[in-house]
Amino acid sequence: MAKPGKSRREFILEIVRGAGATIVGGVIWGGILLDNAAGSLVLRPPGALESDSFLAHCLKCGLCVNACPYSTLRLADVGNGLANGTPHFEPRGIACEMCEDIPCTVACPSGALDLGLVSKLVDGHSRLDINSARMGIAKIDTDNCIAYWGLSCDVCYRVCPLMDVAIELEYVRNERTGVHAELRPVVNGDACTGCGKCEHACVTEEASIIVLPLEIAAGKVGSSYIKGWDVEDERRMKELDKPVTSSEAAEKTLDYLNTDDLFDE
């Protein structure tokens, strides 16, 4: 089994360690930046609402953690950079096992874990569908993935619950030898559930494939581009066109300045 590598917190702290100390120059503010950056990489259970809504709805009751049969979920501790008492998981340690009955989400009493986000319509009825989960998106570090070196490895592909859908193998000519083919894993972000089985199983000392939250992993087109042939994209543009009044903007600013969440976390 792969040797566990750096924790998710250690991974992001290395990225922003210098910035946290130099942008403002204060040790305390630097620590706040580092903790918030670490928290931005947290992976939530299946069906979790978008980050701000999740934190607003989560009761920190721990029922989802108790319901998980594989001890995947944990409650955040004080001082680890996450909202204290909220559920999360680190796939390098224990990945989500993709339970078909999704007991963690079912156990949530507040709607912070929304059953609607892990369900699909079947014959007019809503049915649980763990494959609809979007806990995050796996990203491959092509510099350190040995398959991209030309070595034989397809472990992440083999353990993926949605093999050939969420992770596919791409046949590429080996430019170094000129006679061999390389099999490179490629992640389909539209199908990836973010379960983390690939990250957990990765054979490199530190995982060369890591699951990131949607807010981090997925881009944002904005209002500059539109798919004119896509009806759903037309609706997106209409939403973007809604004006934000100065009073609404001011209210949001005051809400942010008056919130205790920054210090609670």
CATH number of the domain within which 148 lies: 3.30.70.20
Question: pLDDT of 247-262, one tens digit each?
Answer: 555 565 555 455 555 4
Q: Which residue from 166, 158, 164, 162 is spatially nearest to 189, judged by alpha carbons?
A: 166
User: Is 146 a domain residue?
Assistant: yes
Cα-based distances in Å from 227 to 222, 242, 243: 12, 19, 22
Give domain status of residue 181, yes or no.
yes
Chain centroid offset of residue 167 CA? 16
- Write the pLDDT tens digit of every residue in 25-43: 444 444 444 444 455 679 9
Q: How far apart are CA 169 and CA 19, in angstroms?
A: 37
Q: Report whether pLDDT(98) > 60.
A: yes
Which residues form the domain of 168?
Answer: 136-217
What pLDDT sits at residue 80?
61
Name the least confident of 10-24, 29-43, 77-91, 97-111: 10-24
When pLDDT is cut at 50, 70 and 90, the band that residue 177 belongs to is confident
Residue 189 lies in a domain: yes
pLDDT winner (highest mean) among 32-36, 75-79, 129-133, 172-176: 129-133
Are 130 and 96 a contacting pair, CB within 8 Å?
Answer: no
- Model confidence at 81, in pLDDT bands (50, 70, 90)? low
Residues 12 and 213 sit within 8 Å (Cβ to Cβ): no
Whether 121 is in a domain gets the answer no
Residue 58 lies in a domain: no
As a whole number, the mean pLDDT across the chain is 81
Domain count for the chain, please give it.
Answer: 1
Q: Kindly report the number of other CB atoms within 10 A of residue 101's CB atom.
A: 11
Q: Is the pLDDT of residue 127 over 50?
A: yes
User: Mean of the pLDDT values across residues 167-171?
Assistant: 95
Percentage of the chain beyond pLDDT 90 is 55
In the predicted model, what is the mean pLDDT of residues 94-109? 98
> How do residues 137-158 score in pLDDT, each as one tens digit?
999 999 999 999 989 999 999 9
Does residue 150 form part of some domain? yes
d(Cα 185, Cα 155) in Å, to the nearest integer?
Answer: 9
Q: Is residue 234 part of a domain?
A: no
| Domain-located, residue 72 | no
215 pLDDT tier (thresholds 50, 70, 90): confident
Section 82-86 average pLDDT: 84
In this prediction, what percent of the chain has a pLDDT beyond 70?
Answer: 71
pLDDT digits (tens, 9 = 90+) for 191-206: 999 999 999 999 999 9
